[in-house]
């Protein structure tokens, strides 16, 4: 085995001899700049569909940062940051209005995304049993899904909302979900 020397501090990164990062730097505190980067690189939203100076970005970020439980940051700054960004992405998917002056297909980007994900479909709850005269089927509804709010049900419709809920649920019941 090669003899590797580790240098540098624990954060933002530890480096092997020769400058190779051992731990890539990760944001531990959410920022609006980090959120914009997350929107473009994780969500894959093109700038033509959501300009960097769009007020929707600031609105979604502020709502998300105000909603995600701050105590999650005590567990992990990384989890808190990802929860803020994921909830912000879910909020964007729900609120951004398309620019009719944008070039196609960006003039209907958000409407198309909402249609594809079924964001505007009403879902009053989860179905756990169905039957007719001859057959029936039932599934056990996990306890974590039995007390979902309307907001939680809406979050389940987007991959970013599900990411947020999974982070919130992974740290226990204090976060509003059991």
Range of the domain at 4: 1-26
Classify strands 15-16 and 129-131 as parallel, antiparallel or unpaired: unpaired
How high does pLDDT run on average in the chain? 83
Burial (CB count <10 Å: 0-12, 13-18, 19+), residue 92: buried
Number of domains in the chain: 2
Q: What tens digit of pLDDT does each residue of 53-71 get? A: 999 999 999 999 999 988 8
Residue spans of alpha helices (H) in 96-158: 109-117, 143-146, 150-155
Do 47 and 1 sit in the same domain of this protein?
A: no
In this structure, the answer to whether residues 1 and 89 fall within a common structural domain is no
Distances (CA, A) of 58 to 32, 47, 130: 7, 15, 43
Q: Are residues 18 and 70 in the same domain?
A: no
Same domain (yes/no): 16, 42 = no
Say yes or no: 39 and 8 in one domain: no
Q: Between 92 and 24, where is the model more confident?
A: 92
Supply the pLDDT for residue 86.
97
Q: Are residues 149 and 167 in the same domain?
A: yes
**pLDDT tens-digit map of 101-134:** 999 999 999 999 999 999 999 877 777 788 888 8
Confidence of residue 7 (pLDDT cuts 50, 70, 90): very low
Give yes or no: residues 13 and 91 share one domain: no
Do 15 and 48 belong to one domain? no
């Amino acid at each position: 085995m090669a003899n590797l020397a580790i240098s540098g501090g624990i954060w933002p990164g530890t480096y092997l001899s020769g400058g190779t990062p051992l731990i890539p730097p990760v944001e531990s505190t959410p920022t609006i700049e980090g959120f914009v980067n997350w929107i473009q690189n994780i969500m894959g939203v093109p700038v033509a569909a959501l300009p960097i100076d769009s007020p929707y970005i600031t609105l979604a970020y502020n709502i998300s940062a105000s909603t995600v439980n701050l105590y999650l940051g005590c567990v992990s700054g990384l989890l808190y940051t990802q929860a803020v960004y994921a909830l912000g992405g879910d909020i964007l998917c729900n609120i951004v209005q398309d620019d009719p002056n944008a070039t196609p297909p960006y003039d209907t980007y958000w409407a198309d995304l909402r249609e594809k994900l079924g964001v505007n479909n009403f879902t009053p709850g989860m179905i756990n049993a169905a039957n007719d005269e001859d057959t029936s089927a039932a599934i056990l509804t996990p306890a974590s899904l039995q007390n979902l709010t309307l907001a939680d049900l809406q979050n389940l419709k987007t991959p970013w909302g599900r990411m947020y809920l999974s982070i919130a649920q992974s740290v226990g019941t204090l976060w509003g979900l059991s």
